[in-house]
Amino acid sequence: MAGLLIKGSEISKQIREELKQEIAELKDKHNIIPGLATILVGEDEASKVYVGAKEKACKELGIFSERIDLPAQTKEEEILVLIERLNKESRINGILVQLPLPKHINETKVLYAVHPDKDVDGFHPVNVGKMILGDPAFLPCTPHGILQLLMRSGIDTNGAEVVVVGRSNIVGKPIANMLIQKKKGGNATVTVCHTGTKDLASHTRRADILIVAAGRPKTITADMVKDGVVVVDVGVNRLPTGLVGDVDFEPVKEKAKAITPVPGGVGPMTITMLMYNTVRAAKMQAGIV
């Protein structure tokens, strides 16, 4: 019997409605409009699409949006000067540098230049450190979206055997750290698998919850999961047949208790959690939380 579809598109709408109320209250009670600055360097088409979607989300929610498009040949020092200006600008609560950056620019140096209080992507080492310690911090948007999907779908992580396939700084490492925290939405036993893992299937078959961010289509097949597993597919792969995830969806769905589709699963949550972080940043900087 096919499992429950965990539709990020629907859960994302729920969260956005909650954010609309928060934003209206901020404006009415405190005369505050959250502000997000997005820096796009170069002509990467996928990046243009992502930034456009972020702009659209800001407009729909009532968040002030400043988009700064720079040519690919922009010098690293110019970007650092721009970030320093945005760090000091009171109207801007969050700063997002769209990745990837051109090869001549040091991504780490640029991301570290964003003030931790405006790091709504959750990539600054201060926020990463706080996340690992379990202290309040801006959580990276995609992993935070995964947590929200699980919690709002009634999936209990307490004591669950979770297997994460992928160890990127954007998804794999942070979601593993979030899930081991001794708090709601965590308290799981987590195994992280990667390209160096021997006999991947022996690990994935143990999973009560399987989170796949491998970056390769059909990495996980039906014989690699147990009956009743919850599957979160983070992958987005463009094939001639359309977008597919990292999980062989149809056969795995027949064994799963619940599973995210691609598209319409994790994807919609990422931008929504960016909006969540921007609103939280506005509140923090105003001393409201």
Which residues carry out catalysis?
A: 54, 98, 121
Helix%, strand%, coil% for the chain, nearest 5: 45, 15, 40
Two structure tokens written together for 243 = 């977008």
Element containing residue 67 per DSSP (H, E): strand 64-70
CA distances from 109 to 119, 120, 122, 283 (A): 14, 17, 15, 27
How far apart, in whole angstroms, are the C-alpha atoms of residue 220 and residue 105? 35
How many alpha carbons fall within 13 Å on the CB side of residue 185?
16
Two structure tokens written together for 266 = 């994790």
CA nearest 279: which of 11, 61, 2, 97?
61
Adjacent-strand bridge partners of 97: 39
Helices (H), 45-182: 45-61, 76-88, 107-113, 125-133, 141-152, 172-180
CA nearest 147: which of 191, 181, 103, 97?
181
Using DSSP, state whether 40 is helix, strand or coil: strand
How far apart, in whole angstroms, are the C-alpha atoms of residue 142 and residue 144? 5
CA nearest 172: which of 191, 153, 189, 159?
191
Residue type, 215: G
